[in-house]
Structure 1
């Protein structure tokens, strides 16, 4: 097994050093509290520095009823309640990518709790692709300006006094980011629990070969790295939801991409599997909202906001 400290990848080298500092007691480990939204199978994470009480919220959920088009905030209110109960100060509202299976509650949470809204800089590619699919018009900016901050690969930041680094991990979408905060890795839609496998790569702009390389990059992190997932769907034979694992467990036990699986084998498996999958139930509203930073489309002349559904396109 290669030594993670000898990576030729500069950003991974920084991430490894950051995690090693926590392992050696030279830096603090963040506290992570997860709120699981069973309706969308989404794990939203609140991560914070236990000393400064400063926090980041990762991949929040806005409740959306597809049959009526109504939104509500039950899931997001749980985040607000937890932040208040723990007396946290929110610095960041982080999105690992533009989700296709749930709407982001980040703008509403910003109103309640503050925090900069951030996503990967390649969101502009996603905005361009889906801006055309949904015929969003010239009024829809495709420059990422709906977000307060765009992360690039290797960008360093902090949550309170805990060091953090952003890693670009494309494949599921072109814009996926993993946020390594202390010794905790928030990896979005790249890996699932080891018994469930990996994320799909067949959305516009997705690429199974890129996904494999992104995953192998993450697997250069130390075995003990805590890994927090964006989703869980219960693998066959498992009757409970799970969203936390380790890099070591993924490296040795992930059913799709454990050590020894070649890139070509993974691409063949992922391509064949993706061909059998239907689109997520909420892809139409989710993508249109999330490429806008969680904001709804602008009201039309009658004052009502609308979600478009392209016919025979996706």
Structure 2
């Protein structure tokens, strides 16, 4: 059985390397409070763009929200004269709230995520005891993507790849010669994402990363997070498939699936839950929207006890 999505993604990268296709322009926006990198990916010729993994600022202690991070993206898009076609999520994040609806209101574009968001909505709909008014059908998004689906950013194709493991719904996006991995892996000196959230699976994560590592060595890799590895003083979020395949401390060539699963399982058992997991998931399973207001006009986020 052939891997049609991977073959399509490899062809895209090869076309850029051969000079037959333009490489996308990539601008990263680092949000240090959540260690998240959001991206604006654009076609220089057509001025069409996509936004990947945006951040909605949230102060947990006060419950206040703001849009400083998203406004920086808006300013860049307008300064560059870009037209946003897509607002993409790699998955329902557990470490930050998505600003996708706000960006869509300001800039347009269609909101999209992987189809397995339905699984995540089902799991966390139960955890948060959401009522029947919470739709678990992905209707909060304009389009649900499956493995191998293709979008266009101007004249540059995007191939969606389903890469479960960190969560059931993770997607990676190959845009021209650029790979956006979401939380599947980090910089080579930092390693891999955790796989102990509900629906996570270290074995699936290993297989997903191995699949991505079959892309051409020269493929540019853009990561969703960086936490600064030991002995590194700077935040960085761009590398290559070659560097990941040969140097990733958890997943380099020669690490077996069983070795990775044992390491990941042991390591995950020592990790605390992300500090924003409960507010983030309540918002992100709704496509970046808060729960509806209660009868006093105020919106509330739940704090389920002894569940995670």
TM-score tier by shorter-chain length is: over 0.9
Structure 2 stretches of 5 or more lacking a match? none
Moved over 2 A (4+): none
Partner of 1:68: 62
Which residue among 5, 11, 14 is the counterpart of 1:11?
A: 5
1:197 deviation in Å? Answer: 0.1
State how far apart, in whole Å, the 2-side matches of 1:209 and 1:147 are. 29
Partner of 2:47: 53
State how far apart, in whole Å, the 1-side matches of 2:20 and 2:248 are. 31
State how far apart, in whole Å, the 2-side matches of 1:165 and 1:106 are. 20
Secondary structure in structure 2 of the residue aligned to 1:129: helix
Which residue among 199, 204, 213 is the counterpart of 1:205?
A: 199
TM alignment of 1:25-40, pairs within 5 A: 25-40=19-34
Which residue among 196, 216, 223 is the counterpart of 1:222?
A: 216
Instruction: Determine if the alignment matches structure 1 residue 163 to structure 2 residue 153.
Output: no
1:8 deviation in Å? Answer: 3.5
CA RMSD, Structure 1 to Structure 2 (Å): 0.7
Instruction: Determine if the alignment matches structure 1 residue 278 to structure 2 residue 280.
Output: no
Structure-1-length-normalised TM-score: 0.97
Secondary structure in structure 1 of the residue aligned to 2:51: strand
State how far apart, in whole Å, the 1-side matches of 2:206 and 2:295 are. 46
State how far apart, in whole Å, the 1-side matches of 2:122 and 2:151 are. 27
Partner of 2:73: 79
State how far apart, in whole Å, the 2-side matches of 1:127 and 1:63 are. 22
Instruction: Determine if the alignment matches structure 1 residue 100 to structure 2 residue 100.
Output: no
Q: Any idea what the Cα deviations from partners look like across 1:120-162, whole Å, max 9, x if unmatched?
A: 0000000000000000111100000000000000001110100
Instruction: Determine if the alignment matches structure 1 residue 137 to structure 2 residue 137.
Output: no
State how far apart, in whole Å, the 2-side matches of 1:188 and 1:83 are. 21
Q: Any idea what the Cα deviations from partners look like across 1:15-51, whole Å, max 9, x if unmatched?
A: 1011100000000100000000001000000000000
Q: Any idea what the Cα deviations from partners look like across 1:239-270, whole Å, max 9, x if unmatched?
A: 00011010000000000000000000000000
Instruction: Determine if the alignment matches structure 1 residue 186 to structure 2 residue 180.
Output: yes
Secondary structure in structure 2 of the residue aligned to 1:91: strand
Partner of 2:226: 232
Partner of 1:3: none
Secondary structure in structure 1 of the residue aligned to 2:239: strand
Structure-2-length-normalised TM-score: 0.99
Structure 1 stretches of 5 or more lacking a match? 1-6
How many pairs align?
308
State how far apart, in whole Å, the 2-side matches of 1:152 and 1:10 are. 12
Partner of 1:112: 106
1:303 deviation in Å? Answer: 1.0
